[in-house]
Amino acid sequence: MFKKLLYIVLMCVVNYSNYAQEIVLNNPNIVVKKSISNLFERLEKDKKILSENLNHYNVIMSEELLPYIDYKYAAYRVLGREISTTTQIQREKFAEVFKQYMITTFSQAFVNNYRQQKLQFNNDIQYDNVKVVNISVFIVGVDSSDSNEKIIFSFLLRKNKSEQWKIFDLIVENISMLSSQQSDITFSIRKKGFDYVLKELEKKGQMDIVLKSQN
């Protein structure tokens, strides 16, 4: 009897969790606010670990941000027209490698800009009758010495066939992660082949996270 009751309770918890997640993904404003707020809370919680190991940023990104990222769409978008020259197995492999590349790229972007600042979100944007939205997050200084500092992270989200909104691109300092890679990747595929590009991208995804010197 106890086991049956415990099973029912666990199923209720799982179903509620899935329902809550579905509500979040149905609104791009909530997707960005929840994912980035959770991310910053985790960065603060793990700051001691991060001070000793910057690669821990990848762990945080994987656990806090990746559930809200459509890495497959991002990967296929980067392939552009060259996607027609690939097999399904190649596309699936590329998506997995690109997922790690996105995690590393997001980690590197945050490690160079995060210094325990505060978050500011834009007013909610309208998303009816559109498939893609751009939502900005402002990272502002907390000390009087840097109170005017404002770093803008822009997240591009798209609504998928399941009516869920997920992040597929990050824009920092007017540089799009996808756009900066697409031309290089498609050109390299044509000149050097898919396998070469895959290996190079895999190397980039495995690079250590480093803190760039602040001028």
Domain boundaries, the chain: 2-205
Provide CB contacts within 8 A for 76, sequence distance 6+. Answer: 83, 91, 95
* pLDDT confidence of residue 6: 37
Contact 189, 91 (CB under 8 A): no
* pLDDT confidence of residue 211: 86
> In angstroms, what CA-CA distances link 59 with 18, 38, 127, 176, 214?
23, 14, 31, 23, 24
Strand (E) or helix (H) holding 179 = helix 177-192
* pLDDT confidence of residue 12: 34
Query: 118 phi and psi, to 5 degrees?
Result: -105, 160
Tell whether domain 2-205 is in CATH 3.30.110.30. no
Nearest to 69 by CA among 110, 109, 101: 101
CA distance 103 to 100: 5
* pLDDT confidence of residue 136: 93
> In angstroms, what CA-CA distances link 189 with 84, 92, 136, 140?
12, 16, 32, 40
pTM (2 decimals)?
0.83
What residues in the chain have per-residue pLDDT under 70?
1-23, 116, 142-149, 213-215
Q: Is 114 helix (H, G, I), strand (E, B) or coil?
A: coil
* pLDDT confidence of residue 17: 41
> In angstroms, what CA-CA distances link 163 with 52, 67, 99, 113, 197?
41, 15, 22, 32, 32
103-157 per-position pLDDT tens digit: 999 999 888 877 767 888 887 899 999 999 999 998 887 554 555 567 889 999 9
Residue type present at position 68 = Y
